[in-house]
Amino acid sequence: MNLNDMIRPEPSIEDIDQAARLIQKARPSYGPIIEFYGQVFIAQEKSRQALELDPILIDSELLKLKFDNGMPLIDPSQFRIDRIRAESLLKTLCSLASNHAPKLASHARKLQAGLDRLDLDLLFQGILENRETAIEKAALDMNMPVHVLMFFVFLSMAPSLQTCASQLAVYLKDSSEPKKGYCPVCGSHPNAAFLDPEGKRVLMCSLCAHEWHTRRMGCVFCDSNDTRLQHYFFNEEEKEYRVYLCDNCQNYLKVIDLRVLNRTFVPRLEQIATLHLDMKAREKGYKNALPGFHDL
């Protein structure tokens, strides 16, 4: 990877707002859901801009060891969370959901009312370390489904993860590591990809939102290059999206073609605007790292 791979600047609040309007215009059926998520992503961006996080440092010996062994820079449990800003974002997300997301509203109000009882640090670590017991216990106590609690907690910690990842990405600039199907920062799976203006494939991490170039062809999940096992589908009306399916590992990957997209690319908004493609891929029997978005 070189510095040219530090791909795009973060979309501004105006970019998010404008892209949300354009998606709503192009796909009226997504109106209310984009309305809600547009505000969620703007709240996350505001929170990200106010974050105070010391960068995670990796000494040169450890860095060499990681590169030599094709390992990601850190384990997800090492991510740092700005707890104060995450908690304040969580409160904002709860009020947005109680006003704009009918299916989440009652849970959002319970969460708001019970925030004092939550051990947020424990929940952040639970998500990062994939330890569901802590989250299950808290969800039971809050009387809400586990995935709903995880949804709120994940969205509130996401700006911290993203900041840590972009701080860590400086370590990757001299790495000549082969381009893998897992995040070079935290080792998580991608939840979508895009084709950059030159047609190169870039993967997006489902956990820390880091973006990295990968090889053009083949399945990024199982490395299969067998063309008989690789298929894709798309709709005539939305040529900017394609869904790649792998019959070797049964995973699918949504790909957004920036050469065809006629609006500013806000990855998280495009993830939402393509939920019908996730549904279609799942109906066909394929799976993907869950993006953490809840059906409203």
* 153 lies in the site for Zn ion, by CB under 5 A: no
Span interacting with Zn ion, options 104-112, 116-124, 150-158, 223-231, rule CB under 5 A: 223-231
* 188 lies in the site for Zn ion, by CB under 5 A: yes
Q: Which x/- pattern over 224-243 shows residues binding Zn ion (rule: CB under 5 A)?
A: x-------------------
* 186 lies in the site for Zn ion, by CB under 5 A: yes
Candidates 195, 205, 255, 272; binder of Zn ion (CB under 5 A) is 205
Nearest distance in Å: CB 252, Zn ion: 9
Other C-beta atoms closer than 10 Å to the C-beta of 249 total 15
Candidates 249, 258, 275, 296; binder of Zn ion (CB under 5 A) is 249
* 221 lies in the site for Zn ion, by CB under 5 A: yes
253 contacts 202 by C-beta, under 8 angstroms: no
* 248 lies in the site for Zn ion, by CB under 5 A: yes
Candidates 128, 195, 203, 246; binder of Zn ion (CB under 5 A) is 246
DSSP string, the chain: --GGGS--PPPPHHHHHHHHHHHHHH-GGGHHHHHHHHHHHHHHHHHHHH---PPPP--HHHHHHHHHTT--SS-GGG----HHHHHHHHHHHHHHHHHH-HHHHHHHHHHHHHGGG--HHHHHHHHHTT-HHHHHHHHHHHTS-HHHHHHHHHHHHHHHHHHHHHHHGGGGTT------SS-TTT-PPEEEEEE-TTS-EEEEETTT--EEE--SSS-TTT----GGGEEEEEETTEEEEEEEEETTT-BEEEEEETTT--S---HHHHHHHTHHHHHHHHHTT-B-----PPP-
Which is closer to Zn ion, CB of 78 or CB of 99? 78
Do the bridges between strand 201-205 and strand 211-213 make them parallel or antiparallel, or are there none, so unpaired?
Answer: antiparallel
Candidates 185, 193, 245, 273; binder of Zn ion (CB under 5 A) is 185
* 183 lies in the site for Zn ion, by CB under 5 A: yes
Nearest distance in Å: CB 228, Zn ion: 12
Span interacting with Zn ion, options 8-16, 188-196, 259-267, 283-291, rule CB under 5 A: 188-196
Span interacting with Zn ion, options 24-32, 62-70, 135-143, 181-189, rule CB under 5 A: 181-189
Nearest distance in Å: CB 25, Zn ion: 32
* 56 lies in the site for Zn ion, by CB under 5 A: no
| Amino acid residing at 58 | I
Report how far residue 106's alpha carbon sits from residue 98's, in angstroms, rounded to the nearest whole number: 7
Candidates 66, 201, 210, 254; binder of Zn ion (CB under 5 A) is 210
Nearest distance in Å: CB 16, Zn ion: 21
* 74 lies in the site for Zn ion, by CB under 5 A: no
For Zn ion, the binding residues (CB under 5 A) are 183, 185-186, 188, 205, 207-208, 210, 219, 221-222, 224, 246, 248-249
